[in-house]
Amino acid sequence: MKKVIPAIITLLMISSLVASQQLFFSTIESNIRVVSGDYKEGTLTIVNNADKEFQVVSYRRYYVVDENHEEVSGIKLEVYKPTGEPVSSGVIYTYWKSGEKKTLRYKIYVDESVKPGKYTLFIVLWGFLESGEINIITVPVPLEVTDIPLIFKEIHVQIKERGVPAFHVLNGETLEVYSTIYNLKTSPVSIKGSVYLEKDGKQYLKKDIAIDLTPGENSVQITLPIPYDLPSGQYKLVYTLTYSKGTYSFSKEIYVSFGVDLVEISLEKTQIMEDDSNTAYFTILSERVIPVNLSIEVYGINNEHIYNQTKEITLNKGSNVVRVTLPPLPPGYKKITGKISFRDIILDQDYSSYDVLAYPKIESISYKKLPTGEVKFLVKLSNKNPYEIRGILYYSFFGVNGTVLKASKDLILAPRENEVEFVVKLPLGKIEYEISLESYGKEQKVYGALKLESPTPSTTSSTQSSPSSTSSSSSSSTVPLEESSTKYYAVAIALSLLLLLALVGYYLKSQKSKRRRKRPKPRRKSPLGRFKKPKEPEIREYKELPKK
């Protein structure tokens, strides 16, 4: 009899199950991911989707099927009460109302033999109503098995000093690379990484790391300082993480520059005179506040180094204009090189040019007296510039009684040597003159004197003058003048004539001494005394008769 009672109870339960209702409850969690050879523990939230209130719910069993709906082994589920006690089978919930959520703590073990893929875990519960009716509750849970333990999430690259995303980084700043990595395993995972800049297949500033990622979410940070001497240009930031199951790579285009550009060199004047200074304006754009050196070098023809100057300046953000005074320099073409440097690093450079003009000069003055009595002056001028320049030649003559003559000539002086002639009518006697050349606001004066006399039969009048001094509006100096060759010819002719006269005189004297001295005949005197020839009578002729 005792053996018959349990059998009857079992038959009643089986018969009630046959008549029971099949229910499917859902979970809030969409997926459970487990690494093969490891386990995963967590909490499921199950929702009572039925319009029923269960007095008691017990855990019965579980099973796992693959995508082909075939049951698989190697996956083990452990269920725990909210208090943490494991449940193999039995009551886990009481009084579960419709729409109410209940939590289920679990631990899932996955054997290494389980292939990576998608599976479905079915948790089977029995729910008892107040009426005693039994409902079979099935909770399907998506399950993913993977052999990759790490999940690489977002990567963020920013500039440390400015806290902005890194697209354009300045030399001297620091790149910060942040990455979030989730470790699915319940044990640490060792990982190695590197970060570097790449350009034209060459690596720059490579930095290596080695870390252990703890279970769950990990934040990895790498800093990469950008040195001041890294050349400007477009680079690719490469970030690589390697572990036993594979490699993860990330890259980003980044432009590196110093942030200082010499935009332009402008000059106050593109042509100046040799005694003038010039002013250069350097326009510099800067993305930062930084001290730099501004170097100015001036070169002449054939890259002859003439002048240099270096000054330290502090740049502000935005546009900076630096004014530099260039001293007077020798005449000729001048090339300016401006360089911006930080320490020993040249950041940028630019070029400009201008011309330094030489003042034309009076080199020599010569003159000669023409047969007409006029005086012809020849003024030699020099223009050391490679092109024509304009000037005015003034000349004034002064006698004993004051100014004799004043005049001027407008000149266009060709490069190198120039000759200017003019003829003047001057009185006899001592004459002083002043000849000046004015060009580009500067005047050079030359003074001299000459003496004009009546010509003698034996000599040809030819005179010349050499200026005694030179003066201008800003300075005075002596200008050497060339002597005219006619002076030497006149002196030579005069000496020759004197020598000839001396020889003739000596010859005549020697001939006279050889003659015999004769007594002169006495002069006969007229008895009538001294005779004077009478004048001839004056005869007037008239075309008309004289009037009464």
Q: Are residues 38 and 54 in the same domain?
A: yes
Is a pLDDT exceeding 90 seen at residue 295?
yes
pLDDT value, residue 491: 54
Instruction: Give pLDDT tens digits for 79-115.
Output: 998 777 888 888 999 999 999 999 999 999 999 999 9
Question: Rounded to two decimals, what is the model's pTM?
Answer: 0.62
Beta strands in 81-149 (DSSP E): 86-87, 90-96, 101-110, 117-129, 134-146
**Residue finishing a domain among 323, 357, 391:** 357
CA angle 13, 15, 20 (to 5 degrees): 90
Is a pLDDT exceeding 50 seen at residue 548?
no
Q: Are residues 142 and 33 in the same domain?
A: yes
Q: Helix, strand, or coil here: 505? A: helix
pLDDT value, residue 499: 81
User: Would residue 6 count as lying in a domain?
Assistant: no
Is a pLDDT exceeding 60 seen at residue 329?
yes
User: Would residue 509 count as lying in a domain?
Assistant: no
CB atoms within 10 A of CB 104: 22
CB atoms within 10 A of CB 397: 22
pLDDT value, residue 509: 64
Q: Helix, strand, or coil here: 473? A: coil
Q: In what order do the strands lie in the sheet with 345-357?
A: 271-273, 345-357, 332-342, 290-299, 305-315
Q: pLDDT class for 400, splitting at 50, 70, 90? A: confident
Instruction: Give pLDDT tens digits for 475-491.
Output: 333 333 333 444 444 55
Q: Are residues 318 and 373 in the same domain?
A: no
The CATH number of whichever domain residue 181 belongs to comes to 2.60.40.3880
Q: Are residues 235 and 323 in the same domain?
A: no
Cβ-contact 42, 106 below 8 angstroms: yes
Instruction: Give pLDDT tens digits for 418-464.
Output: 999 999 998 888 999 999 999 988 999 999 999 888 766 544 333 34
Task: Indicate the average pLDDT of the chain.
Answer: 84
Across the chain, which distance is largest between two alpha carbons, in Å?
Answer: 234
pLDDT value, residue 519: 53
Q: Are residues 140 and 23 in the same domain?
A: yes
User: Would residue 79 count as lying in a domain?
Assistant: yes
Q: Count of domains in the chain?
A: 4
Q: pLDDT class for 527, splitting at 50, 70, 90? A: low
Q: pLDDT class for 301, splitting at 50, 70, 90? A: confident
Q: Helix, strand, or coil here: 212? A: strand
User: Would residue 495 count as lying in a domain?
Assistant: no
**Who wins on pLDDT, 9 or 23?**
23
* Helical (H) or strand (E) element with 504: helix 485-514
Q: Are residues 197 and 90 in the same domain?
A: no
Cβ-contact 180, 153 below 8 angstroms: yes
Q: Are residues 333 and 245 in the same domain?
A: no
Mean pLDDT, range 236-252, rounded to an integer: 93
First to last CA, the chain: 220
Place of tokens 């002859």: 304
Q: Are residues 253 and 298 in the same domain?
A: no
Domain around 176: 150-257
pLDDT value, residue 475: 33
Least confident interval from 172-176, 408-412, 435-439, 537-541? 537-541
Short-list 256, 174, 179, CA closest to 223: 174
The CATH number of whichever domain residue 63 belongs to comes to 2.60.40.10
CA angle 66, 68, 74 (to 5 degrees): 25
Is a pLDDT exceeding 80 seen at residue 78?
yes
Q: Helix, strand, or coil here: 131? A: coil
pLDDT value, residue 183: 94
User: Would residue 7 count as lying in a domain?
Assistant: no
Q: Are residues 93 and 168 in the same domain?
A: no
Residue 202: C-alpha distances to residues 174, 205, 206, 237 (Å)? 20, 10, 11, 12
User: Would residue 140 count as lying in a domain?
Assistant: yes
Cβ-contact 321, 281 below 8 angstroms: yes
In angstroms, the CA 194 to CA 202 distance is 15
Is a pLDDT exceeding 50 seen at residue 130?
yes
User: Would residue 497 count as lying in a domain?
Assistant: no
User: Would residue 9 count as lying in a domain?
Assistant: no
Mean pLDDT, range 297-311, rounded to an integer: 93
* Helical (H) or strand (E) element with 500: helix 485-514
DSSP summary character for residue 71: B
Residue 533: C-alpha distances to residues 303, 411, 536, 540 (Å)? 99, 71, 9, 22
Sign of torsion, CA 87 91 95 100? positive
Instruction: Give pLDDT tens digits for 349-361.
Output: 999 999 999 999 9
Residue 131: C-alpha distances to residues 56, 59, 90, 99, 135 (Å)? 11, 20, 19, 20, 11
Q: Are residues 210 and 332 in the same domain?
A: no
Q: Are residues 277 and 351 in the same domain?
A: yes
Q: Are residues 250 and 277 in the same domain?
A: no
